[in-house]
Amino acid sequence: MTNAHAMRMPLNLAGALLAAALFALPVQAQQVPPSDAVKLALQALPGAEPLGVKLKGDHYVVRLKQDGTVVQVLVDATTGQVSQ
């Protein structure tokens, strides 16, 4: 084994390990943008006024004001499914 070959072996091994690690990572689902989460929440509560949106875990918490009352609507960040 030549000296140059011996020096390249750790780099080849590191490259192979990096490639294996990247393939082992779970594929992340496409996330619903915050603006779409607000639109979906407004469809669930027509006439409401948006106050804010925050991502908490795998859901958006959309705060809306309807008839003088603040309401929170949950929107799944992956599927866009709305729940109250």
CATH code assigned at 57: 3.10.450.40
Mapped onto helix, strand or coil, the DSSP state of residue 35 is helix
Residue 78 is predicted with a pLDDT of: 94
Class of residue 36 by CB neighbours under 10 A (exposed 0-12, middle 13-18, buried 19+) = middle
Residue 16 is predicted with a pLDDT of: 52
Q: What is the pLDDT along the chain (84 residues), one digit of tens a residue?
A: 555 555 555 545 555 544 554 455 455 566 999 999 999 999 999 999 999 999 999 999 999 999 999 999 999 999 999 998
What pTM was computed for the model?
Answer: 0.65
Domain range for 69: 3-83
- By residue count, the chain amounts to 84
Domain count of the fold of the chain? 1
Rounded Cα distance between 13 and 75, Å, is 44
Residue 17 is predicted with a pLDDT of: 47
